[in-house]
Amino acid sequence: MSMWVTGANGFIGRHLVRELAAGGHAVHGVGHGALDPADARALGLQTWINGEVDAANLNALAAAHGLPSHVFHLAGGSSVGLSIERPFEDFSRTVASTARLLEWLRSFAPETRLIVVSSAAVYGADHAGPIPESAVLTPMSPYGHHKLMMEQLCQSYVQSFGIRCAVVRLFSVYGPNLRKQLLWDICSRLRNEQRTLNLGGTGAEIRDWTDVRDVVRLLAHVAEGTWKDDFDVINGGSGRGVSVAGIAEGLIGHWGSKTAVQFSGVGRPGDPTSLLADNARVLAMNFDWRIPLERGLADYVAWFKGQTRA
């Protein structure tokens, strides 16, 4: 099948392209970022348009390759911190791009199945324990608000125009090639052989850590599974919570370091104390998470050491 990925040059996007191409699909992409043709070929990406998700670029893909069976929409803001620094940019990347994509699908490809990647940030704070998809949504950052607005827009197009759309809310996705956020920061400091690792927050923040290689398998699984006509929202989490301190310890262990960890005790703005998925929906889809955290962390450290040696 012909599948399109917006934001295909991002961290999750690149893993997803590899997964879909390995499954025998023709994969085309649009989004921001220069991508070397050899690099694109190695990923399995047949076409890459470096630009906005807009009608002109979507038309160009359709003219060259026909309509897609599926569109995976990964383009959008990807940082809580940046969304606070530059909220309008985050709005444009997340909400306005989705508006243009939905309108294009409505006009030209109403049968296409749209898989939209959202975020657990829509849940906000105030959730203790596993969070079901039906929980009250109280995002606490522009990033979370914009993801929620994006979902709302999808729901509107499903309701009024019969667009076929499933939203997958991702939790804390990590894995090879992730060059930002907690795991990257910790490994970068370990490489510099800091005696003490000083981290923000309390260390007790609970997150649902999922390896990106599992996550892209899940996205493909959702796309190829049975579709309801309704708007569908699925937690893309494992249901297993581990604290930030636990992650730091695990990485230090795999690194083979004796560094001590210290937390500032001060939470960062926009940072909930717990974000853990109720994973009943994913279980019901017969999806199995294959990479346990221990292996994921070990792989991450191995990747990190390998790429910094190069």
Lay out the site mask for a copy of itself across 28-67 (x = CB under 8 A, - = otherwise).
----------------------------------------
Q: Which of 106, 221, 240, 305 binds a copy of itself (CB under 8 A)?
A: 106
Query: Which of the stretches 30-38, 135-143, 188-196, 197-205 binds a copy of itself when contact is defined by CB under 8 A?
Result: 135-143
Q: How far is the CB of 92 from a copy of itself (least distance, A)?
A: 8
Please tell me whether residue 108 binds a copy of itself under the rule CB under 8 A. no
SS3 track for 20-77: HHHCCCEEEEEECCCCCHHHHHHHCEEEEEECCCCHHHHHHHHHHHCCCCEEEECCCC
Of the pair 56, 64, the CB lying nearest a copy of itself is at 56
**Ramachandran region of residue 111, left (φ > 0), alpha (ψ -120 to 50) or beta?**
alpha
Task: Kindly state whether residue 87 participates in binding a copy of itself, applying the rule CB under 8 A.
Answer: yes
- Candidates 10, 13, 130, 142: give the one binding a copy of itself (CB under 8 A): 142
257-296 binders of a copy of itself (CB under 8 A): 269-270
Q: What CA–CA distance (Å, rounded) separates 156 from 284?
A: 26
Burial label for 183, CB within 10 Å (0-12, 13-18, 19+), is buried
Cα angle at 192 between 189 and 193, to 5 degrees?
90
User: Does residue 90 contact residue 77 with C-beta atoms inside 8 Å?
Assistant: yes
25, 28, 93, 146: which one contacts a copy of itself (CB under 8 A)? 146
CA separation for the pair 54, 210 (Å, rounded): 31
CA distance linking residue 52 with residue 58, whole number of Å: 9
Query: Which region among 29-37, 100-108, 173-181, 246-254 touches a copy of itself (by CB under 8 A)?
Result: 100-108
Contacts to a copy of itself by CB under 8 A: 84, 87-88, 91-92, 95-96, 99-100, 103, 106, 139-142, 145-146, 148-149, 152-153, 155-157, 159-161, 269-270
